């Protein structure tokens, strides 16, 4: 994808922010905003890869991939670039892995307005440092992603949500073989099983799970992260991702205090190397 025009918009100086569909917070207010290109450039089903502009809606990508029997492990809605820049995986993370494992190559615009390629086009690649993973979750503070090559995955033959009442999710969790998602509210669990229909049915039966229409609505007060083993001790109204440790809580996030200062220093050095003048998404601090 030709990113020359987008690079020109980002320019070489002055504060600039990037805007997608504003589903994940939107651009920095009061700052000149640019939009990355949108559109699917190609889908190579036999490579399980695709290339698209960062401004492409995730839902468009999923719809296009469905025609090839494939999907993308990004949470729905908003743009591909927005999903990657925030770096929050969806509730299928247990089975599909984190968002960062989806991004194979990113062409981004640097603080100096140059197009920079990070990563490479193939699923397997250890050529040079892994800048792609640094970009995922960086919220546009190190460069503005223009286009990406993503790893796709096959759609499962069968996909069914189940539920059951349990005070402790771990015994059932231990018995399941690679479930796609296991959610728990403190008293009820929801399980997404995918694969061959007979395997899905057999696993559900072995764990006394009842089919249900889908996952519960997630509380939106805060999205917290705890060690997976600490999920059992979360209090209040919540839905926890068992085996992952992400907790969707009804209450806002408590103040966790400052994080380890050496990591903060390292994060500052990263920002200083990639955007010394602080012009990209000014005011956004990733630490």
Partner 1 sequence: MTTSLVDDLGAALSPDRVRVGETELALYRRDASNLEGHAGAVCFPTTASEVQACVRVAVRHGRPFVARGAGTGLAGGATPLDDAILIVTTKMNRVLSVDPISRLAWVEPGVLNLDLTRAVTKHGLHFAPDPSSQQSCSIGGNVANNSGGPHCLADGVTTAHVIGLEVVLPDGEIVQLGGEEADAAGYDLRGAFVGSEGMCGIATKVCVRLTQNPPAVRTMLMDFASVEAGAQTVSAIIASGMVPAALEMMDQLCTRAVEEYIHAGLPVDAAAILLVEVAGLPNGVEADVQRIVEIGKAHGAGTVRIAQDEAERALLWKGRKNAFGAIARIKPNYYLHDTVVPRRRLPEVLKQVYEIVERHELLVMNVFHAGDGNLHPLLVFDKREPGVMDRVHAAGEEIVRVSVAAGGVLSGEHGIGLEKRDFMSLMFNAEDLDAQARLRRAFDTTGLANPNKVLPSPASCGDVQHVPEGAWI
Kindly state the number of chain residues that form the binding site for partner 1, as judged by CB under 8 A.
81
List the interface residues with partner 1, window 1-60 (CB under 8 A). Answer: 44-48
In 3D space, the residue among 157, 29, 136 whose CA is nearest the CA of residue 88 turns out to be: 136
* Residue 286 phi, psi dihedral angles, 5° rounding: -110, 105
For residue 64, state whether it binds partner 1 (rule: CB under 8 A).
Answer: no
- DSSP-derived 3-state class of residue 271: helix
DSSP state of 188: E
Residue among 32 and 175 whose Cβ is closer to partner 1:
175
The correct pick among 1, 23, 117, 212 for binding partner 1 (CB under 8 A) is 117
For residue 262, state whether it binds partner 1 (rule: CB under 8 A).
Answer: yes
List the interface residues with partner 1, window 158-197 (CB under 8 A). Answer: 170, 173-174, 177-178, 195-197
The correct pick among 122, 208, 210, 277 for binding partner 1 (CB under 8 A) is 122
Q: How far is the CB of 208 from partner 1 (least distance, A)?
A: 18
CA 23 to centroid of chain Cα atoms = 13
Between CA 234 and CA 230 the distance in angstroms is: 7
- DSSP-derived 3-state class of residue 184: strand
The correct pick among 5, 8, 214, 269 for binding partner 1 (CB under 8 A) is 269
The correct pick among 15, 130, 186, 218 for binding partner 1 (CB under 8 A) is 130
For residue 244, state whether it binds partner 1 (rule: CB under 8 A).
Answer: yes
* Contact present, 162 and 193 (Cβ < 8 Å): yes
Between CA 240 and CA 94 the distance in angstroms is: 12
List the interface residues with partner 1, window 201-230 (CB under 8 A). Answer: 202-203, 225-229
The correct pick among 165, 205, 255, 260 for binding partner 1 (CB under 8 A) is 260
The correct pick among 33, 100, 215, 278 for binding partner 1 (CB under 8 A) is 100
Q: How far is the CB of 124 from partner 1 (least distance, A)?
A: 4
Q: How far is the CB of 114 from partner 1 (least distance, A)?
A: 5
The full DSSP string for 44-87 is: ETTTTEEEEETTSBHHHHHHHHHTTTEEESS-SSSBHHHHHHH-
* Contact present, 86 and 25 (Cβ < 8 Å): yes
């Amino acid at each position: 994808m030709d990113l020359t025009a987008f690079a020109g918009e980002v320019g070489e100086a002055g504060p600039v922010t990037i805007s997608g569909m504003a589903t994940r917070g939107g651009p920095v207010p009061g700052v000149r905003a640019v939009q990355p290109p949108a559109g699917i450039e190609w889908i190579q089903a036999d490579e399980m890869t695709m290339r698209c502009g960062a401004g492409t809606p995730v839902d468009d990508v999923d719809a296009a991939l469905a025609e090839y029997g494939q999907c993308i492990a990004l949470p729905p809605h908003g743009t591909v670039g927005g999903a990657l820049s925030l770096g929050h995986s969806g509730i299928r993370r247990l089975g599909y892995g984190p968002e960062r494992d989806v991004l194979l190559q990113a062409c981004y615009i640097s603080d100096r307005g140059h197009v920079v390629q990070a990563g490479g086009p193939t699923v397997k690649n250890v050529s040079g440092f892994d800048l792609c993973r640094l970009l995922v979750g960086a919220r546009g503070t190190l460069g503005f992603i223009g286009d990406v090559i993503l790893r796709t995955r096959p759609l499962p033959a069968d996909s069914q949500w189940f539920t059951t009442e349990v005070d402790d999710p771990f015994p059932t969790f231990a018995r399941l073989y690679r479930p796609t998602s296991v959610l728990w509210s403190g008293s009820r669990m929801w399980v997404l099983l995918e694969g061959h229909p007979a395997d899905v049915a057999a696993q559900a039966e072995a764990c006394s799970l009842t089919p249900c229409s889908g996952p519960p609505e997630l509380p939106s007060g805060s999205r917290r992260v705890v060690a997976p083993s600490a999920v059992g001790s979360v209090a209040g109204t919540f839905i926890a991702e068992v085996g992952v440790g992400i907790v969707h809580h009804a209450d806002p996030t408590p103040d966790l205090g400052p994080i380890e200062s050496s990591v903060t220093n390292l994060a500052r050095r990263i920002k200083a190397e990639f955007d010394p003048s602080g012009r990209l998404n000014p005011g956004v601090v990733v630490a």
